[in-house]
């Protein structure tokens, strides 16, 4: 991934390490409430994204099963599942969820749904590429980069299955970032 993408990726995952501290300090593994549950699910998505990122970078060997499992982890925590975790108690104690979620519900749900589309495209790519991370999975030169004008106009339902997996991955990270920018209160 290019430097710009890598930077955004670090921003997306920045919360993960910090957020791991309170969870580790909690003795029971069962989350106490919906806030803990959704934060735990977000962390699971961050870890899954790291797994996929490491394979694109080559810092982990390509493993189609692990790639697919990571994509499915993200898929299982996105879409309606994600949306429903922010139905009530948005501004609960210990939560960084913004009250804007209530006011801009459709935008929030759309981002959650987009995440699911990208995740399923990534899982499908792993199914088509069982042995090697093929050149077809790679983003081609000149393709819409995250943050670029084309990326903003990307229509997940129509384009995502025909784009290289790496491109879908970048757009997926952009979806994480976009939702956080709009609907997560900044850590002080």
Tokens of 127: 């199914």
User: Residue 188: CB partners within 8 Å, gap ≥ 6?
Assistant: none
Q: Is 122 in the site for ligand HEC (CB under 6 A)?
A: no
Looking at residues 58 to 97 of the shown chain, list those that interact with ligand HEC (rule: CB under 6 A).
74, 82, 95-97
User: Beta-carbon neighbour count of residue 19 at 10 Å?
Assistant: 17
Q: Is 176 in the site for ligand HEC (CB under 6 A)?
A: yes
d(CA 167, CA 83): 24
Q: Is 112 in the site for ligand HEC (CB under 6 A)?
A: yes
Of the candidate residues 56, 67, 108, 169, the single one contacting ligand HEC (CB under 6 A): 108
Of the candidate residues 11, 16, 66, 124, the single one contacting ligand HEC (CB under 6 A): 16
d(CA 56, CA 5): 12
Between the CA of residue 70 and those of 158, 167, 174, what are the distances in Å?
A: 23, 16, 17
Nearer to ligand HEC, 36 or 134 (CB): 36
Interacting residues with ligand HEC (CB under 6 A):
12, 15-16, 19, 35, 38-39, 42-43, 45-46, 49, 74, 82, 95-97, 108, 111-112, 115, 172, 175-176, 179-180, 183-184
């Amino acid at each position: 991934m290019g430097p710009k993408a890598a930077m955004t990726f670090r921003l997306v995952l920045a919360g993960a390490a910090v957020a791991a501290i309170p969870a580790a300090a909690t003795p029971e593994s069962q989350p106490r409430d919906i806030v803990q549950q959704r934060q735990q699910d977000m962390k699971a998505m961050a870890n899954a994204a790291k797994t996929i990122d490491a394979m694109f970078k080559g810092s982990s060997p390509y493993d189609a099963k692990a790639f697919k499992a990571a994509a499915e982890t993200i898929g299982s925590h996105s879409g309606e599942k994600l949306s429903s975790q922010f139905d009530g108690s948005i501004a609960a104690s210990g939560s960084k969820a913004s009250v804007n979620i209530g006011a801009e519900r459709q935008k929030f749900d759309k981002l959650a749904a987009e995440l699911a589309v990208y995740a399923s495209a990534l899982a499908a790519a792993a199914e088509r590429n069982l042995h090697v991370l093929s050149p077809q999975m790679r983003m081609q030169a000149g393709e819409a980069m995250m943050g670029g004008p084309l990326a903003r106009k990307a229509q997940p339902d129509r384009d995502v299955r025909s784009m290289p997996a790496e491109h879908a991955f970048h757009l997926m990270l952009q979806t994480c970032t976009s939702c956080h920018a709009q609907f997560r209160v900044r850590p002080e």
